[in-house]
Structure 1
Amino acid sequence: MDSPPRVTAIITSRERFSYAEESLESFYAHTDVPCRVVYVDVNSPSDRWERLQRLSDIHGFTSVRVNKYVSPNCARNIGLRYAEGEYVVFLDNDVEYTPGWLEPLIDCADKEQAAMVGPLYLHGPLEEQTVHMAGGDMEFSGTWGTREFTQTQRHFMKPVSEVPADELHRQRCDIIEFHCALVRRSVFDQVGGMDEGLLTTREHLDFSQRVLDAGGTVWFEPSSVITYRMPPPFALTDLPYFMLRWSDAWTAETLKHFATKYGIKPGYVERVTKNRKGRQWLLFEQIKQYLPDALGPTATKAVKRAFQKVEPIGNRLLVEFMALREPPLEWQVHHNSRPAAREPAATAGTAS
């Protein structure tokens, strides 16, 4: 009799829905290790949910549909309810994989008794070979309540060819990211689930720190490689979720929660402005393709400045409108051709 898989892959929406099918096909094309797969769909358009169910029937994974937009950490907690085996690998739904990406992560966790293992993260098309992170570092300093906090993504934005070879080896680090993160399931018994007070950002920093505080180790394994396919493009139906996911309101709440939790100086919340600029840059990159060439650079810059002034108002109104219509949390499960089963209206426990 075959042994059950050692790994459950939990795939959640990062910031859009439109790349999910390509990402899933890449996953199945490049994953040779037997694993249980749980895809948590965060209220994507009904036609995309129908296509996900068809893919579920083809590949045999479990698809879970949440009835409203929720944060990635909330979705990860829901996915954890269906996890089995020794390890969980958290994945975003906009990742492209390379052959044999999973085996080195498991090998590192086995041999080093690691609590968490992350790959070499790239971003953009795989052929561009641009580093997103090759392991990361973080540091707290100062007195509680006014602490400084710094983090580093090693070799961010460098071509892989420019990273010294002696730095691309299996090694301990402080942080890995949830684009792809292998976690030993027993860790959750020690530190709890994902902190749902973190709605937009800092999730990987918080969970990595909790693992380190519990005596676990975090490792970087460069023989595993994935790439994060950041937008644009967007589908129009991606935009409401993207705007909420990176909204000023969710970001401010997240940064305040993170600063309070770790005794960081209150000014840390000013990073809301940085997140807004990132959101606006991605959105305007999408808009630019619809502007007429006749506008020229000067007029295009003027349109961009006008957009940057108006966009925060639209963002706030969108969040307020969604809050008025927010239903109680429920989800349903689809596996193969069996009828969907209604699940309880509750989330997995949040971390303290």
Structure 2
Amino acid sequence: MDSPPRVTAVITSRERFSYAEESLKSFYAHTDVPCHVVYVDVNSPKDRWERLRRLSDVHGFTAVRVNKYVSPNCARNIGLRYAQGEYVVFLDNDVEYTDHWLEPLITCADEEKAAMVGPLYLHGPLEEQTVHMAGGDMEFSGVWGTREFTQTQRYFMKHVSDVPTDEMRRQACDIIEFHCALVRRSVFDQVGGMDEGLLTTREHLDFSQRVLDAGGTVWFEPKSVITYRMPPPFALSDLPYFMLRWSDAWTAETLKHFATKYGIKPSYVERVAKNRKGRQWLLFEQIKDYLPDALGPAGTKAVKRVFQKVEPIGNRLLVELMALREPPLEWQVHHGSGLAAPEPTAAGAPR
């Protein structure tokens, strides 16, 4: 009799919906370790949800649909309810995979008794071989309430060939990211679930620190390689979620929560401006493709300056409008195995 899978993959929306099917195709093409799969859809357009339901029937995964836009940490906690086995591997829905990406993570966790294991993270097209992070470090210093905090993504933006050979080895580190993160399920009994006060950012830093504080270890395993495909392009239907996900309001609330939780100086919240610039850059990269060539470089720069002034106002109005229409949290479950889906309670949890 076959043993039950040791791993549950919990896949959640990072910042858009339009890459989910491509990512799932890559997942099933490159994953040869048996695992349960739970995909948490955060109120994507109904046609995309219907396609996900059909895919779940083909592949036999559990598809969970939340009735409103929620943060990735909230979605991870929902997916965690349906997890089985010894490990959970958290994945974003814009990841592409390479052959045998999962086995090295499990082997590392088994051999090192690791609480968390992350792969070599690339970003962009796989053939470009651009490093996003080869393990990471973080450091707190100073007096509580005015502490400084720094983090490092090792070899960020370097070509893989520029990373020293002796650094491309399994090793302990401080942080891994939720693009792909294998976590021992027993860890949640020690440290609890994901902190839903972190709406936009710092989620991986917080969870890694909580694991380290509990005496667990975090490992980088470069034999596993994934790449995440950041936008653009966007589908038009991606934009409301993207704008909320990286909104000034959610970012300010997140950074304030993180700073308070770890005694970091209050000015840490000023990072909101950095997140805003990133959001605007991604949006304008999409917009500029539709600008007439007659504008030229000078005209394009002028349009960009206007956009940068107007966009925060539109962002704030969108967030306020969504808050007015926000329903209580609920979700529905579709089991691609053909089993009847449990009815959600009023709070969304399965009975």
TM-score by length of 2: 0.98
CA change 1:258–1:345 in 2 (3 A) is farther
CA change 1:269–1:345 in 2 (3 A) is farther
Deviation string 1:210-269 (CA, Å, 9 cap, x unpaired) is 000000000000000000000000000000000000000000000000000000000000
The aligned residue for residue 15 of structure 1 is: 15
The aligned residue for residue 344 of structure 1 is: 345
The aligned residue for residue 120 of structure 1 is: 120
Contact 2:141–2:149 at 8 Å: present in 1 too?
yes
How far off its partner does 1:281 sit? Answer: 0.1
The aligned residue for residue 168 of structure 2 is: 168
The aligned residue for residue 66 of structure 1 is: 66
SS in 2 for 1:342: coil
Separation (CA, whole Å) in 2 of partners of 1:268 and 1:341: 43
The aligned residue for residue 190 of structure 1 is: 190
Counting only pairs closer than 5 Å after superposition, residues 270-289 of structure 1 correspond to structure 2 as 270-289=270-289
Deviation string 1:82-108 (CA, Å, 9 cap, x unpaired) is 000000000000000000000000000
SS in 1 for 2:178: coil
Contact 2:140–2:149 at 8 Å: present in 1 too?
yes
Contact 1:77–1:347 at 8 Å: present in 2 too?
no
Contact 2:331–2:348 at 8 Å: present in 1 too?
no
How far off its partner does 1:345 sit? Answer: 4.0
The aligned residue for residue 261 of structure 2 is: 261
Matched, 1:93 2:93: yes
Deviation string 1:147-184 (CA, Å, 9 cap, x unpaired) is 00000000000000111111000000000000000000
TM-score by length of 1: 0.98
Deviation string 1:98-148 (CA, Å, 9 cap, x unpaired) is 000000000000000000000000000000000000000000000000000
SS in 2 for 1:314: helix
Separation (CA, whole Å) in 2 of partners of 1:239 and 1:341: 31
Letter matched to residue 186 of structure 2: S
How far off its partner does 1:294 sit? Answer: 1.0
Separation (CA, whole Å) in 2 of partners of 1:69 and 1:104: 33
Contact 2:332–2:348 at 8 Å: present in 1 too?
no
Counting only pairs closer than 5 Å after superposition, residues 196-215 of structure 1 correspond to structure 2 as 196-215=196-215
SS in 1 for 2:343: strand
CA RMSD of aligned residues (A): 0.9
Contact 1:232–1:285 at 8 Å: present in 2 too?
yes
How far off its partner does 1:343 sit? Answer: 1.6
Matched, 1:335 2:335: yes
Contact 1:88–1:182 at 8 Å: present in 2 too?
yes
The aligned residue for residue 129 of structure 1 is: 129
Letter matched to residue 249 of structure 1: A
Separation (CA, whole Å) in 1 of partners of 2:102 and 2:277: 34
SS in 1 for 2:290: coil
Deviation string 1:34-92 (CA, Å, 9 cap, x unpaired) is 00000000000000000000000000000000000000000000000000000000000
SS in 2 for 1:2: coil
Letter matched to residue 89 of structure 2: V
Letter matched to residue 208 of structure 1: S
The aligned residue for residue 307 of structure 1 is: 307
Separation (CA, whole Å) in 1 of partners of 2:278 and 2:217: 31
Contact 1:135–1:173 at 8 Å: present in 2 too?
yes
Matched, 1:294 2:294: yes
Separation (CA, whole Å) in 2 of partners of 1:340 and 1:325: 27
SS in 2 for 1:341: coil
Deviation string 1:4-35 (CA, Å, 9 cap, x unpaired) is 10000000000000000000010000000000
SS in 2 for 1:334: strand
The aligned residue for residue 225 of structure 2 is: 225
How far off its partner does 1:338 sit? Answer: 4.4
Identity %: 89
The aligned residue for residue 41 of structure 2 is: 41
Separation (CA, whole Å) in 2 of partners of 1:344 and 1:152: 42
Letter matched to residue 276 of structure 2: R
CA change 1:181–1:260 in 2 (3 A) is same
Show structure 1 runs of 5+ residues with no match: none
Separation (CA, whole Å) in 2 of partners of 1:294 and 1:238: 29
Letter matched to residue 268 of structure 2: Y
Separation (CA, whole Å) in 2 of partners of 1:228 and 1:50: 24
